Amino acid sequence: MRRLALIAVLFALLAPGAAFAVRPDEMLKDPALEARARHISEELRCLVCQNQSIDDSEAPLAHDLRVLVRQRITAGDTNAQVLKFIVARYGDFVLLKPPFQLDTLLLWSLPPFALAAGLVGLIVMARRRRAVPLQPDALSAEEQAKVATLVEAEPAGR
Amino acid sequence: MIPELGHYALILALALGLIQSVAPVIGSIYRDAPLMRLANSTALMQFVFVAASFAALEICFITSDFSVAIVYENSHSLMPLVYRMSSVWGNHEGSMLLWVLILSLFGALVAMFGVNLPSTLKALVLAVQSWIACAFYVFILLTSNPFLRLTPAPFEGRDLNPILQDPGLAIHPPLLYLGYVGFSIAFSFAIAALIEGRIDAAWARWVRPWTLMAWMFLTLGIAMGSYWAYYTLGWGGFWFWDPVENASLMPWLAGTALLHSAVVMEKRNALKVWTILLAILTFSLSLIGTFLVRSGVLTSVHAFASDPTRGVFILCILVLFIGGALTLFAWRAPMLKQGGLFAPISREGALVFNNLFLTTACLTVFVGTLYPLALEALTGAKISVGAPFFNVTFGPLVLALLFAMPFGQLLAWKRGDLLGAAQRLMAAFGVGLVVIGLTYAVEGKQPVLAPFAVGLAFYIMVGAAVDLVERTGLFRMPLRIVAARAGGLPRSAWGTAVAHFGIALSMLGIIAAGSWGTERIVAVKPSQTISISGYTLTFDGLSQQAGPNYSAVVGRFTVREGGNVIGVMQPSKRSFSTRGMSTNEAALMERGFGQLYLSLGDTEANGSLAIRLYYKPLVLLIWIGAVIMMLGGALSLSDRRLRVGAPKPARAKTAMQPAE
């Protein structure tokens, strides 16, 4: 993708002949089932597009997937079953929210880990800082004597 | 002739850049004032030459000189003037030229307006700025020359991608680049401070206006891009968590953190090391964004591998600058003295909290954007990271941050009173709770969390104003005194309140449009009526229209509210013959802060026309909020202490004299 910044996303969309993502003829009659279908569609990636859900994509493959999702819903699958069915055919790549597993461990855990580490670090730093200025160690007898000599040696007013 | 002049001007800019990269550094080592001052002239002249080069390319596009390769590939003689002008940056080579134009503009601005900067600091800042510029001049000249000629010259161009033939292209990229590249100034200041080994509150005061300016442009640029996507893509989405969008969001998040930590450094002389690091990271993220967008690595790891010249070159720039900066940081930062102790519950503490959450949010976006690339490159496994991932990871971080935001404004410096702040926020809590109740009553219980988010937005809006209300004595004092006090408050206090108010407005828009928007995806026949959220639309029919370089099918719909005609919506589809592509022009109708959104689909087999119709309540607040945030930044920028640029030049010289 060599073209311009933010709009790069637009290129993938406008294959010749702008069409629709969800088409009227593929929608389910029952609004509740259709709402579920839309919800599931937002979780699934259009495999031939760049980072688009099948709900947003107008690629023919996305259309096929939307129809498949609706078939499964009509057949009585739960949302989880539909997703499982699609993943079994197309792999994890189809999920826009990757599953939590070994190769996505860092992806999921890094942000919360960073937040926790940051918080702990800040608390430790705050403790250490407070400890230093508020409770200076009492001067040893040797240091006291040194201070005394210095004070005497220094003429007043300088 | 003109393209060659443009090419030559760019080479001259590089030559000046090389001088500016070396001379001021030597000058600063030997305390040689003329050598250091040289950077002022070279910075100005660099801008003049890059501007000349850019103007040359503009002339090629305006006059449709198809002997220039990128004009041939991205323009057409029938295109309206404004699109011929903006298509200069509608391609890789031209947009890189815009990048260095803005970079050299900022360099020239520092040279001109940095009058009261200590001379060594200014010399080093301009030198660092020039290192970056030279790297990109060389990149353009070696791998992306915009002035390459074609022989024989073709008669007609291949047209600009129709999607880009939009006023958005004229506005969005320049704004975005002003933001991206503007952060280079903070970066240069940070590097200069590390080289000098000294940094103080005055440093933060000099850096803040530049950062603020870049942040304002980036805020506006991102908002503008989002609105452009919203009205162009035909289904009313405004943010897609696309890697290209994330590339602009990351510097924004880091830049927002930088703005806030610079306040702490300026006022309390604390968080020095962290602020320097943020300044480096913010611009590094801009560079990474440039790499992501320009290298082709986003399309696929393989596309990058098959044509790696540009990508590898930018990657080298990236490694050199980010690696170099961080190495310098690791070496010099421990020498910077920490100052300004504070209790955890204090204004400083709140701003640290802000920084922690903003940088974690930024890290989340970073990981989410780059993880799939890294995983595929390392193991070959392909995963997708999209909106659902970011909603569950990025969302909670931002909500927590937003909830804490009004507290931060009310905590005192050094040692704050959390309970006291909570008591002062009682009104805000009250309004928030009432709004939650009202939202439930009016909109019902679906979706469950939305009313809470609306309440949160109102709580932030009121909370943003609490500080101002208390300080001006509104509701307690006569209006005359209130007005006098309001005028006497520092502009930065107003800026904070306005910007925080703006983000709450954006949030309200996002929630309302996302939760209570309605849609109709239907096929209609002429004179058929569709109703949505109290409005009815009658399809009057289709007509053909001819544009300058396209033909359009225009649908006409009469909109009624309660039986009265309130207007006509005319969505269209444009076909561009040169590229054989078409675009969808949605029709928008404002209803208060909401919008009716209508776009055309295909004609079905039975002759009826598919349409997508949306009602999006309060959707305009998303972008209005962003504009208000930007205005808050502008208010803060006009604050007296930044305008005057204290400390005074005379005092600054004694205060900033090198330690030796």
Written as one letter, the residue type at B542 is L
Nearest residue, CB atoms, A98 vs list B95, B232, B383: B383
- Band of the pLDDT at B474, cuts 50, 70, 90? confident
Nearest residue, CB atoms, B176 vs list A5, A91, A110: A5
The predicted structure's pLDDT at residue B296: 74
- Are A40 and A69 contacting, i.e. CB atoms less than 8 angstroms apart? yes
Nearest residue, CB atoms, A6 vs list B92, B176, B392: B176
Tell me the mean pLDDT in the region B40-69.
96
In A, minimum Cα distance to B242 occurs at A51
Q: Of the spans A135-149, B87-101, B223-237, B479-493, which averages the highest pLDDT?
A: B87-101
The predicted structure's pLDDT at residue B39: 94
Nearest to B583 by CA among B615, B529, B607, B547: B547
Could you tell me the pTM of the whole model?
Answer: 0.90
Task: Please name the residue that has the structure tokens 């928008």.
Answer: B588
Cα B313 to Cα B140: distance, rounded to the nearest angstrom: 10
What's the token pair of residue B230? 């919203």
Res B466 pLDDT > 80: yes
Burial of A29 (0-12, 13-18, 19+ CB in 10 A): exposed
- Band of the pLDDT at B382, cuts 50, 70, 90? confident
The predicted structure's pLDDT at residue B444: 75
3-state secondary structure B545-561: EECCCCEEEEEEEEEEE
- Are B93 and B144 contacting, i.e. CB atoms less than 8 angstroms apart? yes
Res A11 pLDDT > 70: no
- Are B619 and B509 contacting, i.e. CB atoms less than 8 angstroms apart? yes
CA dihedral B339, B343, B349, B353 (to 10 degrees): 120
- The residues with which B529 forms a beta bridge, in sequence order, are B538
Task: Check CB contact under 8 Å for B604 and A24.
Answer: yes
Nearest residue, CB atoms, B601 vs list A23, A43, A94: A23
Res A44 pLDDT > 60: yes
The predicted structure's pLDDT at residue B658: 45
In B, minimum Cα distance to A95 occurs at B384
Best residue in B98, B222, B241, B244 for a mutation probing chain A (most A CBs within 10 Å): B244
In A, minimum Cα distance to B345 occurs at A126
Nearest residue, CB atoms, B384 vs list A45, A106, A110: A45
Tell me the mean pLDDT in the region B426-450.
87
Cα B320 to Cα B323: distance, rounded to the nearest angstrom: 5
Residues in A closer than 8 angstroms to B173, CB to CB, are 4-5
What's the token pair of residue B456? 């949160």
What is the share, in percent, of chain B residues with pLDDT greater than 90? 62
In B, minimum Cα distance to A114 occurs at B360
The predicted structure's pLDDT at residue B643: 57
- Band of the pLDDT at B138, cuts 50, 70, 90? very high
Task: Check CB contact under 8 Å for B352 and A122.
Answer: yes
- Band of the pLDDT at B442, cuts 50, 70, 90? confident
Nearest residue, CB atoms, A7 vs list B163, B386, B582: B163
Task: Check CB contact under 8 Å for A22 and B521.
Answer: yes
Cα B28 to Cα B38: distance, rounded to the nearest angstrom: 11
The predicted structure's pLDDT at residue A20: 60
Cα B295 to Cα B292: distance, rounded to the nearest angstrom: 6
Cα B90 to Cα B73: distance, rounded to the nearest angstrom: 10
Nearest to A108 by CA among B253, B298, B383: B383
Cα B191 to Cα B286: distance, rounded to the nearest angstrom: 16
Res B175 pLDDT > 50: yes
Task: Check CB contact under 8 Å for A95 and B384.
Answer: yes
> pLDDT tens digits for B101-117?
999 999 999 999 888 88
Q: B59-63, B590-594, B637-641 — which is least confidently predicted?
A: B637-641
- Under 8 Å CB pairs connecting chains A and B tally to 192
Q: Which CATH architecture has domain A8-99?
A: Orthogonal Bundle (1.10)
Q: B94-98, B132-136, B305-309, B454-458 — which is least confidently predicted?
A: B305-309
CA dihedral B234, B253, B393, B425 (to 10 degrees): -100
The predicted structure's pLDDT at residue B97: 96
Q: How far is A143 from chain B (nearest CA, A)?
A: 26
Non-local (6+) Cβ contacts of B603 within 8 A are: B609, B610
What's the token pair of residue B184? 């280079």
Q: How far from each other are the two terminal CA atoms of chain B, in whole angstroms? A: 53
Task: Check CB contact under 8 Å for A56 and B397.
Answer: no
Best residue in A41, A102, A107 for a mutation probing chain B (most B CBs within 10 Å): A107
The predicted structure's pLDDT at residue B654: 44
Cα B506 to Cα B210, B240, B616: the distances in Å are 25, 16, 14
- Are B622 and B219 contacting, i.e. CB atoms less than 8 angstroms apart? no
> pLDDT tens digits for B445-463?
677 788 999 999 999 999 9
> How many CB atoms neighbour CB B634 within 10 A?
16
Residues in B closer than 8 angstroms to A22, CB to CB, are 521
What is the share, in percent, of chain B residues with pLDDT greater than 70? 95
Cα B165 to Cα B90: distance, rounded to the nearest angstrom: 9
Q: A12-21, B282-291, B514-523 — which is least confidently predicted?
A: A12-21
Res B569 pLDDT > 70: yes
Q: How far is B344 from chain A (nearest CA, A)?
A: 7
Tell me the mean pLDDT in the region B409-433.
90
The predicted structure's pLDDT at residue A2: 35
The predicted structure's pLDDT at residue B453: 92
ipTM for the assembly: 0.82
- Band of the pLDDT at B641, cuts 50, 70, 90? low
Q: How far is B454 from chain A (nearest CA, A)?
A: 22
Q: For chain B, how many helices (H) and strands (E)?
A: 23, 10
Task: Check CB contact under 8 Å for B523 and A8.
Answer: no
In A, minimum Cα distance to B298 occurs at A1
Tell me the mean pLDDT in the region B240-257.
93
In A, minimum Cα distance to B295 occurs at A2
In B, minimum Cα distance to A99 occurs at B383
What's the token pair of residue B550? 């396209």
CA dihedral (B96, B99, B105, B111) positive or negative: negative
Res A3 pLDDT > 50: no
The predicted structure's pLDDT at residue A16: 35
The predicted structure's pLDDT at residue A137: 60
Nearest residue, CB atoms, B602 vs list A4, A19, A22: A19
Domain boundaries, chain B: 1-161, 518-616
